[in-house]
Amino acid sequence: MKPEVNQKTNRLLASLPDRDHDELFGRMERVSLQKRAVLWEQGAHVAYVYFPDSATVSLITLVEDGSSVEIATVGSEGALGLGVFLGAERALARAIVQSPGSARRMETGAFQQALAQYPTLNRIILRYTQALLLQITRAAGCNRFHSLEQRCARWLLTVADRSETQELPLTQEFLSDMLGATRQAAGVAIEGMVKRGLIQTARGTIRLLDRSGLEAASCECYRVVKEELEQFIAWLSPASRP
């Protein structure tokens, strides 16, 4: 029997019909994802598709000089390895665990078979791919046109939403990698938000104190992506799907 949908349960899997859900779980294994673990590197073969329960994972694009920037954040609302769904054999971005927790994973071959066998799973993954692509394309524009402080506020809010906590286990170094900025520049942005009472920092953690203030400091990208994700989650309800 399926567990109830909550912050510890992957929403995609929980929305499946009971029979499909139970059969698919028999093909998956539950894994613990440790903080900063790399699920795969950019350009590497994707051996598994992951469905996070309580873990949060960043998708990061890298360029030849070693610079990096996050293009998407995936939590219990989604899945990782969807290039397999689109027919790709190699990962388009690095996948690194942002917040530790549990996930379900399935071998890519078994996942491809399941897509053919379970039409509802296929439809759900197709609809989620649209939401993920919006997040990726919005990140591209955001990283180019918006200020570092706006992007930092957006990123902190997004991570808090996916992790469902206001206390984030983050270092300044990791944050700078996610934002594609230097540690010094990221530190200035963080210091500015601390002085305004938006966040509080301690060693290895950032705590959100004023969400409305952070939303005001963020760009419109946070709202656009959040609304798309909320529409997708509402669509996941069997009564809402055509």
Domain CATH for 134 = 2.60.120.10
CA distances from 225 to 46, 142, 203, 216 (A): 26, 11, 30, 15
Decide which of 102, 117, 144 is a domain's last residue. 144
pLDDT, tens only, 121-141: 999 999 999 999 999 999 999
How many residues in the chain? 242
Q: How far separated are the first and last CA of the chain, in Å rounded?
A: 24
Helix (H, G, I), strand (E, B) or coil at 182: coil
Q: Is the pLDDT of residue 49 over 70?
A: yes
- Measured distance CA(34)–CA(99) in Å, rounded: 8
Q: Is the pLDDT of residue 8 over 80?
A: no
Q: Sign of dihedral through CA atoms 92, 41, 143, 149?
A: positive
Q: What's the pLDDT band for 237 if we cut at 50, 70, 90?
A: confident
Give yes or no: residues 139 and 175 share one domain.
no
* C-alpha dihedral, 170 to 105 to 79 to 116, nearest 10°: 170
CB 121 within 8 Å of CB 239: no
- 161 part of a folded domain: yes
- 240 part of a folded domain: no
Decide which of 106, 129, 144 is a domain's last residue. 144
Domain with 32, as residue range(s), is 11-144
Q: Sign of dihedral through CA atoms 56, 104, 86, 17?
A: negative
CB 126 within 8 Å of CB 79: no
Name the nearest CA neighbour of 97 among 169, 25, 155: 169
C-alpha of 4 from chain center? 21
Give yes or no: residues 158 and 140 share one domain.
no
Q: What is the pLDDT of residue 5?
A: 43
Residue 174 belongs to a domain with what CATH number? 1.10.10.10
**Coarse DSSP helix, strand, coil percentages of the chain, rounded to the nearest 5 percent:** 45, 20, 35
- 93 part of a folded domain: yes
Give yes or no: residues 139 and 178 share one domain.
no
- 198 part of a folded domain: yes
pLDDT, tens only, 195-205: 999 999 998 89
Structure tokens at 125: 């993954």
Give yes or no: residues 21 and 114 share one domain.
yes
Instruction: Indicate the number of domains in the chain.
Output: 2
